[in-house]
Amino acid sequence: MDRAPDLRSPLTILIADDHWVVRESLKQVAQGLDSNLRIEEAGGFNEALAVLQDNPDVGLLLIDLVMPGFTEMEGLRLIRSNYPSIPIVIVSVHEDPNYVLRAIQHGVIGYIPKSSGPEEIQHALQRVLAGEVAFPRDLIARSWSEQQPAPAAPSATDVARAGLSRRESEILVLLGRGCSIQDTAERLDISRQTVRVHLGNAMRKLDLRTREAAIRYAVENGEALAQMRDRA
């Protein structure tokens, strides 16, 4: 059922939210970044599914977690199951760190709180359109402090078995805290290409196939990665 977008065509974004003001705001910000974008809109979950079915070229989905017909993570699971290649960004009133973690666990590439100002939304969309992920750093930091360790969560010893270098661990820690590739490069005083090379090496060692999977791993195992970084 999943169909990859035609990369030769202008990017099509589906904005799904039951408030037209939110849809219009996101539309204006997106088109301000790239006037060639094609925007589709949906005011409910079933309408969003219909748009996805009728528009196989959708290359990005901006969707609210709370709208008619959408049962939060269950609806997200359905979309991920039927359209696994479409990048998804959550736009939500929820600012509970647990929502961010659960969204990451479902493979989303970004999370934009509705309380964000225009510049914050613009920055998040810029990162997403550039092929990066966009998660609010404050919520990521809170998720780290509030998250209870799961019984199967890897320890620093488990992470060490993957053979990550100190630099690879550093990069994963920063990405897990919401830093972009550019932010990470500036903090470590290295080039963006060097960050990508180290990230690619870390993903290979951890058998992670996508950057989204790497971000999820970094968020869920941040403490163990930080311990590994500090010991190296």
Predicted pLDDT of residue 45: 92
Q: What is the set of domains in the chain, with CATH numbers?
A: 12-143 (3.40.50.2300), 150-231 (1.10.10.10)
Question: What confidence tens digit (pLDDT) does each residue in 45-87 have?
Answer: 999 999 999 998 999 999 998 888 877 788 888 998 899 889 8
At residue 109, the 3 state secondary structure works out as coil
At residue 113, the 3 state secondary structure works out as strand
- Enumerate the β-bridge partners of residue 130: none
Provide the edge-to-edge strand list for the sheet that holds 12-16: 38-42, 12-16, 58-63, 88-92, 110-113
H/E stretch holding 30 reads helix 20-33
What mean pLDDT comes out for the span 188-208? 92
Predicted pLDDT of residue 209: 83
Question: What confidence tens digit (pLDDT) does each residue in 95-148 have?
Answer: 887 788 788 778 788 899 998 888 888 888 888 887 777 887 776 666 555 554
Q: Give CA–CA dist 135/108, Å, rounded.
A: 10
Q: What is the pTM of this model?
A: 0.70
Mean pLDDT of the chain: 82
Residue 7 CB neighbour total at 10 angstroms: 8
* Residues contacting residue 85 through CB under 8 Å, at least 6 positions apart: 2, 3, 4, 5
Predicted pLDDT of residue 231: 67
Question: Is the pLDDT confidence value at 211 over 80?
Answer: no
Q: For 224, how many CA atoms within 13 A lie in the half-sphere containing its CB?
A: 19
At residue 90, the 3 state secondary structure works out as strand
Letter for the amino acid at 153? A
Angle between helices 166-176 and 211-220 (to 10 degrees): 90
Residue 137 · residue 112 · CB < 8 Å? no
Predicted pLDDT of residue 153: 43
Phi, psi of 76, deg, nearest 5: -65, -40
Question: What confidence tens digit (pLDDT) does each residue in 161-174 have?
Answer: 778 888 998 999 88
Question: Is the pLDDT confidence value at 159 over 70?
Answer: no
Q: Give CA–CA dist 162/202, Å, rounded.
A: 9
Residue 137 tokens read as 């750093």
Q: Give CA–CA dist 160/55, Å, rounded.
A: 45
Task: Give CA torsion, residues 49, 54, 55, 58, to 10 deg.
Answer: 10
Predicted pLDDT of residue 141: 61
For the chain, percent of residues with pLDDT exceeding 70: 83
* Residues contacting residue 123 through CB under 8 Å, at least 6 positions apart: 134
Q: Give CA–CA dist 70/183, Å, rounded.
A: 34
Centroid of chain to Cα 25? 20
Residue 59 tokens read as 């290359």
172-176, 207-211, 219-223: segment of lowest average pLDDT: 219-223
Question: Is the pLDDT confidence value at 17 over 90?
Answer: yes
Predicted pLDDT of residue 152: 43
Predicted pLDDT of residue 200: 93
Predicted pLDDT of residue 2: 53
